[in-house]
Amino acid sequence: MRIEDPKLLTAFRELDVQWKPAVSLAELTYLGIGGTTDLLSICRHEAIPDLLNLLDGQGIPHKFLGGGSNLLVIDGELPFVVLQLADHDPDVVIEGNVASVDAAADLGRTVTFCAKHNLGGMEGLIGVPGTVGGALRMNAGAYGTQIGSYVREVKLYRAAARRLETLRGQQISFEYRHTSFAPDDMMLSVKLELPSKPYPEILQGIRICNEKRRASQPLGQKSAGCIFKNPPGASAGRMIDELGLKGFAVGDARVSERHANFFINAGHASAADMLALIAGVRERVRGAYGVTLENEVVVWNA
């Protein structure tokens, strides 16, 4: 979708919003899949309500992009514009046991920055790609750690109320890969309260998680992490593997040989290929186990 109205472009400048025309989402997502649209980069949180009123007033559909690590975007000219928070420097500030982190901050870098200040707890999250905001929205987790456990406070744009709000950790429910945030809420920053731990001890935990991940996940390849959520008491990866589907492909979209719940873009996969692969595998699992796997990956298809 293209924004060409000069009045709108002037209004963006007044709100410190940078307009980047014709951006390829394939270049902004870990899967390397997705069509083209205009991107609006937001420098000031306070400008968000005015920006969204402006877009809504003009009937311009929009979606919020985090780090693009858990996202599958359709092909072609996209029927919406994309909003993204600009990077802030510094994006992590530590006071005592509390790290105040910008939502646009890289999750892995945040874990190591806190570690260097002798704040631990998040070792399991090392290697989970994406931003802190993205991790927060879906309560990212790995190796027994989930980010929600450490949240003291979240600043967000509440789409329903059309304003910025600050929520205390207890006001938010964090479940397995799910939170009480609305789908169109936009994470802006978070205060994480972390346990004190000596840096060498945290580093040891980080090394162990890195090794486990390297041994079991296809790290160097284009993927969105796990495609499906694990159904209660079971492993989607194991089910897909047991059906002999490793290597099963539609075009260049392929079930990883390393971990069957990771689907790889092995070359020039289209969104249509990846969606067909997801549907095909879901159907095979449903037929064999009677379980309908739910997407973990977020799909932008309209």
The residues that touch ligand EPU, with contacts defined as CB under 6 A, are 142-143, 216, 225-226, 229-230, 235-238, 241, 259-261, 296
Tokens, residue 68: 């693009």
Give 74 or 260: the residue with its C-beta nearer to ligand EPU: 260
Between residues 32 and 35, which has the closer beta carbon with respect to ligand EPU? 32
Nearer residue to ligand EPU within complex by CB, 119 or 147: 147
Catalytic residue check, 296: yes
Q: In angstroms, what is the minimal distance from the CB of 226 to ligand EPU?
A: 3
- The widest CA-to-CA distance across the chain, in whole angstroms, is 57
Residue closer to ligand EPU by CB (options 226, 271) is 226
For ligand EPU, the closer CB: 37 or 131: 131
Annotated catalytic, 177? Answer: yes
Cα distance between residue 18 and residue 38, in whole Å: 10
Q: How far is the CB of 222 from ligand EPU (least distance, A)?
A: 14
Catalytic one among 226, 254, 258, 282?
226
Distance CA 201, CA 9 (A): 51
Q: How far is the CB of 65 from ligand EPU (least distance, A)?
A: 18
Comparing C-alpha atoms, which of 220, 187, 222 is closest to residue 26? 222
Which parts of the chain fold into alpha helices (H)? 6-14, 48-57, 107-116, 132-138, 199-216, 236-242, 271-289
Instruction: Kindly report the number of other CB atoms within 10 A of residue 186's CB atom.
Output: 23
Q: Is 192 exposed, middle or buried (0-12, 13-18, 19+ CB in 10 A)?
A: buried
What distance, in Å, lies between the first and last C-alpha atoms of the chain?
Answer: 12
Residue 257: active-site member: no
At closest approach, how far in Å is the CB of 240 from ligand EPU?
Answer: 7
Cβ-based nearer residue to ligand EPU, 74 or 209: 209
Minimum distance of ligand EPU from residue 40's CB (angstroms): 27
Exactly one of 109, 152, 158, 177 is catalytic; name it: 177
Q: Is 273 exposed, middle or buried (0-12, 13-18, 19+ CB in 10 A)?
A: buried
CA 285 – CA 262 distance, rounded (Å): 15
Q: Which two tokens stand for residue 163?
A: 């304003």
Residue identified by tokens 């897909």 is 240
Nearest approach, Cβ of 245 to ligand EPU (angstroms)?
9
63 and 155 Cβ atoms separated by less than 8 Å: no
Q: Which residues are catalytic?
A: 177, 226, 296
